[in-house]
Structure 1
Amino acid sequence: MEFTLGQLAALLQGSVEGDETQKVSRLDKIQEGKAGGISFLANEKYEPFIYQTESTAVIVSEGFKPSKPVKTNLIRVKDAYLGFTALLEAYSQFAKASYVGVEEPSFMHESSKMGENGYRGAFSYIGKNCRIGNGVKIHPQAYLGDNVTVGDHTIIHAGVKICSDTKIGNNCEIHEGAVIGSDGFGFAPQPDGSYKAIPQIGNVVIEDFVSIGANTTIDCATMGSTLIKKGAKIDNQVQIAHNVTVGENTVIASQAGISGSTEIGKNCVIAGKAGLVGHIKIADNTTIGANTGISKSIKTPGTTLFGYMGMELKNFLKSYSIFKNLEDLEKRLKELEKKA
């Protein structure tokens, strides 16, 4: 895809400082820019690169004032970072639009239906009684079990496994290798010390505008639904157990684990490797730091927790100022005991 600088400036509601007829077809880092590429400058520590880059154009903020002559063309926008983000979004949409039609071999059961302008990649599989909306992209080797529902303009990347009865909303994106709707971890202890599997007969419901990262697993409910609400963003390699609810616009980072039947509020942030026990509730706007363990419900909205056992942040910082000096305090205590 090739665009003139004038076309891009119009798209970004900016202006060209230079030759607006020149064309670009590639997005480049400013420090690696070559002819035909477009870059951006939003962080002042990268400013030296704008004087040496070979990119055909660089997106800069309106207020940027170069300290010496610039060889490249400039596209001035209100905010360079937001402008380049808008360009990435447009580029991504163009790329996605190129996937249309059916590649062979692929399989869709005769009882299933798919809307217009969709894409089915090679070796994809769609089971019985599935209902798939308009503009849905199902990439190679993706699997959809029976009775799956997928809303309009959702993207299912290569190798995704979506188990039977899962419901997915509009404008979602599920990245490579994710498994949605596999059995929850339910086993009943037996008198002889063994365990018997408890049938997991529920499903997973994913609302609109949800993003799910690569190799993330979301288990089906024992009964009812595991629920991922509108706008939630889930990173790679996250484990969400059966009957969990993740609230609207909540963000969960890589390697976090959410145990069964826990309810997470809206607009929460759960950092990497955080672990939550089951059957608790997390209030809206809660922030849970990396490696933090949460063993009880968080009832106050807006709470920030940090530390292995999830202490309130201010208390953790006060305690940390003490226990980081424990070795020195122990030595001083022993010296005092000798003098006593």
Structure 2
Amino acid sequence: MKHQLKIKSIELAKELHTRIENLNDFDIFSFSSLADKVPNTVTFATSKYYKTIDFNHFPEDILLIAPVEFEGEKRQNTIYVDNPLKDFLHLIKKYVRDKHTQPPGNIHHTAIIDPRAIIHPSVSIGAYSIIGMCKIDEGSVIKEHVHVYDHVDIGKNVILYSSTEIGTEDFGPIIQKDGEIEMFPQIGSLIIEDGVQVFPFTAIGRGTLGATIIKSGVKIDHCCQIGHNTIIGTNSIITANSIILGSAIIGKNCWIGSGSIIKNQIEIGDGVTTGMGSVITKSIPGGYTVAGNPAIELQQMIQERKTLKRLINNAQADEK
């Protein structure tokens, strides 16, 4: 077992500001999953999985973070909180430091930075990154091999992971009457608000004349393409290999499933979920779950498939 920390169980419990009862004071060396049952670790359980635990075969020297609804059981070496997952993540962030994380304010000597860039002293910038004429606010982290282009405004506590292209000139072919193809010049900007995270190999295009806007709390997975003038609403999640074409509007608290393709100038309402591989060709009202190619409302798709299956079964029965 990798020793990520050495701390006493009671001290760890105190960090969560919870009542300490029926708790032995033993060494905690690491974090573990509920399934692994590794001694001298801390783990957590949601309500669903807590009910499946066989405590007759559960090691005593594991600190379990459990939902407060089970507090009446007063199990040994268990602390009860409102949100076990949130508190578990808090402990990891506090006590385990990513070995690749640059110290705040550290700028690697290989980074190339435009002298006109406005960078807060607390910002860290990794090796071989290229920073154009932009603004980067407090607490943001730019990992290795990141290219931030001109006219990008990055908020507080943003993380741009390795090999991302931020504010790149986007693809905008214009076919002239004589058949000549000319690229529309991208002279707009990109605004990335506070708390956004952009994972490796993702490209975000700046606006053509206006701005591409990634609002606060958005998380964008690996290998995504975000087109010019797109607006992504607060706390939306864009998962791996998704493509959002130009001038699309994504509402807040949306979940865009892996491999989804969203047509340009489409508007997606708040709280929409798209299934993996969805192809969105029409605007979607808030609260819907859609899937398929072209994407339709999930229940409609399920019903259509049931109808199709019934027709096929009837046709096969007639042939017999």
TM-score by length of structure 2 reads 0.84
Give the secondary structure class of the aligned counterpart of 1:88.
helix
Greater C-alpha Rg: 1
| Conservation of the 8 A alpha-carbon contact between 2:159 and 2:198 | yes
1:51 aligns with 2:57: yes
- 1:10 aligns with 14
Match for residue 40 of structure 1 among 23, 40, 44 = 44
Deviation of 1:74 (Å): 4.0
Give the Cα separation in 2 of the matches to 1:320 and 1:30.
38
- 1:135 aligns with 122
| Conservation of the 8 A alpha-carbon contact between 1:24 and 1:37 | yes
Deviation of 1:185 (Å): 0.8
1:331 aligns with 2:320: no
How many matched pairs?
Answer: 312
Deviation of 1:51 (Å): 3.3
Deviation of 1:12 (Å): 1.1
| Conservation of the 8 A alpha-carbon contact between 1:30 and 1:50 | no
CA RMSD across the alignment: 3.1
Unaligned runs of 5+ in 2: none
Moved more, 202-211 or 318-327: 318-327
1:161 aligns with 2:147: yes
- 2:297 aligns with 312
Name the % identity. Answer: 27
- 1:23 aligns with 27
1:219 aligns with 2:205: yes
Q: Please show how residues 263-274 of structure 1 align to structure 2 within 5 Å.
A: 263-274=249-260
Give the secondary structure class of the aligned counterpart of 2:305.
helix
Match for residue 90 of structure 2 among 86, 91, 102 = 86
CA deviations over 1:83-142 (Å, ceiling 9, x no partner) = 3122123235x6599843xxxxxxxxxxxxxxxx51223522222211112422222232
Give the Cα separation in 2 of the matches to 1:80 and 1:244.
35
Q: Please show how residues 178-327 of structure 1 align to structure 2 within 5 Å.
A: 178-190=164-176, 193-298=179-284, 300-327=285-312
| Conservation of the 8 A alpha-carbon contact between 1:249 and 1:268 | yes
Give the Cα separation in 1 of the matches to 2:218 and 2:56.
37
CA deviations over 1:131-163 (Å, ceiling 9, x no partner) = 112422222232212x11111111222222211
TM-score by length of structure 1 reads 0.79
Unaligned runs of 5+ in 1: 101-116, 336-340
Deviation of 1:215 (Å): 1.5
CA deviations over 1:257-279 (Å, ceiling 9, x no partner) = 11111122222222111111112
Give the secondary structure class of the aligned counterpart of 2:315.
helix
Q: 1:137 to 1:23 in 2, by over 3 A?
A: farther
